[in-house]
Amino acid sequence: MRSKIVAGNWKMNQTFEKADELLYQIGEKLEDNLPKNVELVICPPALYLELATDFAQEIEFKIGAQNVSEYDNGAYTGEISAQMLSSMDMDYCIVGHSERRKYFGESSDVLSTKVQRLLEYGIQPIFCVGEQLEERESNKYFDIVKSQISEGIFNLSLSEFSNVVIAYEPVWAIGTGKTASPEQAQEMHAYIRNLVSDKYGVEMADETTILYGGSCNAKNAKELFSQTDVDGGLIGGAALNAEDFITIANSF
Ligand code: PEP
């Protein structure tokens, strides 16, 4: 059976003290409200990964990085390699977030290399795809998502692919308060699962975890997660509030 995952992407938020406080609050909430059969993942800024790993020794959650270098170790000032992340016991790493594609010009080639690096070091990529507003309005959204997936992860072998989590994040829904309707999310998730089935077979498609991201919150998570092909969420803003994040994790 495929896993259900709720992952919190903290983006470039929180001071060290605030990160510590938020992790502590999440730990407290989890004591009385531990979600069943759901994997919780926290993706803090890289500077706080060690802090989060310390908390994860006591509390039931996994840790993800928000980014990884496309390069191996060496003279790449400011970069963090997949080997470094692996040496800090990272479970996951987000790749292809629309903010990285847009503000840092990350192309499909770069993203595909990042995915390879992570897999070489046993870290599961959470590979994000999603269309812009004008692409939805001009009915190009299936084609856009198809090419992002084909170019980013369909070069993988079956066994490599089995370690990838996909996140469908319509760009027009990220941080805007405009969530995709449960029907829109289901339609795209089913489409993605079909693409996986055509490429890797029905069994693999059935095992692939596909998350929804884009203004998912404590109020709308239940309806989104009740859709057949929605296996959880990648949560931005609402992951910065312990109560909301745990409510979302308990929304299956
Ligand atoms: C995200 O950035 O991955 C995201 C889903 O953000 P938000 O939940 O704030 O829309």
Centre of ligand 1 from the C-alpha of residue 74, in Å = 32
**Do 38 and 63 contact (CB within 8 A), yes or no?**
no
At 78-124, the pLDDT tens digits run 999 999 999 999 999 999 999 999 999 999 999 999 999 999 999 99
Statement: residue 32 has pLDDT above 90: no
Query: Which residue has its alpha carbon closest to ligand 1 atom 6?
Result: 236
Which residue out of 39, 70, 97, 99 is catalytically annotated? 97
**How far apart are the C-alpha atoms of 152 and 111, rounded to whole Å?**
6
**Where exactly are the structural domains of the chain?**
5-249
pLDDT-derived band at 234 (thresholds 50, 70, 90) equals: very high
Please work out whether the CB of residue 234 comes within 6 Å of at least one atom of ligand 1: yes
Question: Atom of ligand 1 at shortest distance to CA of 233?
Answer: 5
Which residue out of 131, 135, 169, 189 is catalytically annotated? 169
Statement: residue 1 has pLDDT above 80: no
Statement: residue 72 has pLDDT above 90: yes
Statement: residue 60 has pLDDT above 90: no
**Do 128 and 213 contact (CB within 8 A), yes or no?**
yes
At 129-158, the pLDDT tens digits run 999 999 999 999 999 999 999 999 999 999
Statement: residue 11 has pLDDT above 90: yes
Please work out whether the CB of residue 174 comes within 6 Å of at least one atom of ligand 1: yes
At 192-204, the pLDDT tens digits run 999 999 999 999 9
- As a residue count, the chain comes to 252
Using DSSP, state whether 244 is helix, strand or coil.
helix
Other residues' Cβ atoms within 10 Å of the Cβ of residue 101:
19
pLDDT of residue 162: 98
pLDDT-derived band at 34 (thresholds 50, 70, 90) equals: confident
Query: Which residue has its alpha carbon closest to ligand 1 atom 3?
Result: 236
Statement: residue 46 has pLDDT above 90: yes
Statement: residue 207 has pLDDT above 90: yes
User: Mean pLDDT score of the chain, rounded to an integer?
Assistant: 97
Given CATH 3.10.28.10, say whether it is the number of domain 5-249: no
Using CA atoms, how far residue 219 sits from 28, 42, 187, 215, in Å, is 21, 20, 21, 10
Please work out whether the CB of residue 241 comes within 6 Å of at least one atom of ligand 1: no
Does the annotation count 189 as an active-site position?
A: no
Residue at 166: amino acid letter: I
Mean pLDDT, to the nearest integer, of 160-187? 96
Query: Which residue has its alpha carbon closest to ligand 1 atom 1?
Result: 236
Centre of ligand 1 from the C-alpha of residue 201, in Å = 30
Q: The pTM is what?
A: 0.97
Statement: residue 205 has pLDDT above 80: yes
